[in-house]
Amino acid sequence: MPLYPLRFEPIFKSMLWGGRRLPEFVRRPAPSDHPVGEAWVLSDVDGNLSVVTNGPLAGKTLREVIAADPVGVFGKHVPPDGRFPLLLKFIDAKQELSVQVHPNDEQAVKLKGPGHRGKTEAWVILDADPDTSAIYAGLHAGTTADHFRDALSIGTVPEALHSFTPTVGDCVFLEAGTVHAIGADILLFEVQQTSDITFRLYDWERGDAKTGKPRELHVEHGLACTDFARGPVTPATPVRDGECDQLVKCRYFSLHHRHADRPFTVGCAGECRVVVCIQGGGTIAGERVEMGDVLLLPAAVGDVPALPDSTMRVLECGLM
């Protein structure tokens, strides 16, 4: 069956720090009255497989689509395990997320076993409150594991974290091993390796509303995976790349941003791309898209036209 631009059903995640914006943002009903922290819009994580919602492949999981035609999906660069290597999501943080860190590939295999990936990720800020929002990314220069243990023991962890007030459009690139946290009142897009390994280092001295108890911390694993030489992380500087801005290019993915009010092209012949609409609307390859919509463009589809209604902002993720 010929491949075509694919849509998927969002997978909502209830989180104690979540808000109420994501169901409306992706135009899907909320699964319950609980706060929704994340909407996974493209996932090949075990137990959370994205399901196609459009065209002849509707009802198939992303993994089934890949298994049926891996070259059609990925082109020449089919991942050795045949799984989609990226997880894409929207995050609505009403409260601060825990201070956390993710392992790199080698550490993930050592700690969790063969087949596990590390987690390098990037965020794009979609909304933030200039009075209450903060991004915590990296540690102050000179912070060591011993310094961090001391901060944990006396409750001064926030003082060890580099932070800044985010603005809409900021892109934050976080290599595995970077200590980080998303602050309160922030809506963002995230692209990451397909991994769900998170080590909590600090949780703002709060308890889980459901249990009344503090959430589990993973201090030893977290400190073992922390790159203390990295230092503070600031927003990425966009690099002009043709008619769009390159936000990130790393060994796992590329991320570009385009802001246009006239026809343009997305996708690339022979390469798999994912297009995320973050403002406005229009059509892409004849598919109607609005804010919050995500389209997977298999390699077999190649480049396709995008026709904005007026002004449309899109993010385009490429696989490396």
Buried-state track 255-273, b at ≥16 Cβ within 10 A, e below 16: bbbbbbeeebebbbeebbb
Say how far apart CA 7 and CA 131 lie, in whole Å.
36
Helix (H) or strand (E) holding 197: none
User: What is the number of other CB atoms lying within 10 angstroms of the CB of residue 50?
Assistant: 27
CB contact set of 33 (below 8 Å; sequence gap of 6+):
none
Say how far apart CA 222 and CA 101 lie, in whole Å.
6
Say how far apart CA 197 and CA 21 lie, in whole Å.
25
Nearest to 275 by CA among 249, 242, 298, 252: 298
Residue spans of alpha helices (H) in 161-280: 219-225
HSE toward the beta carbon, residue 106, CA cutoff 13 A: 3
**Active-site residue list:** 200
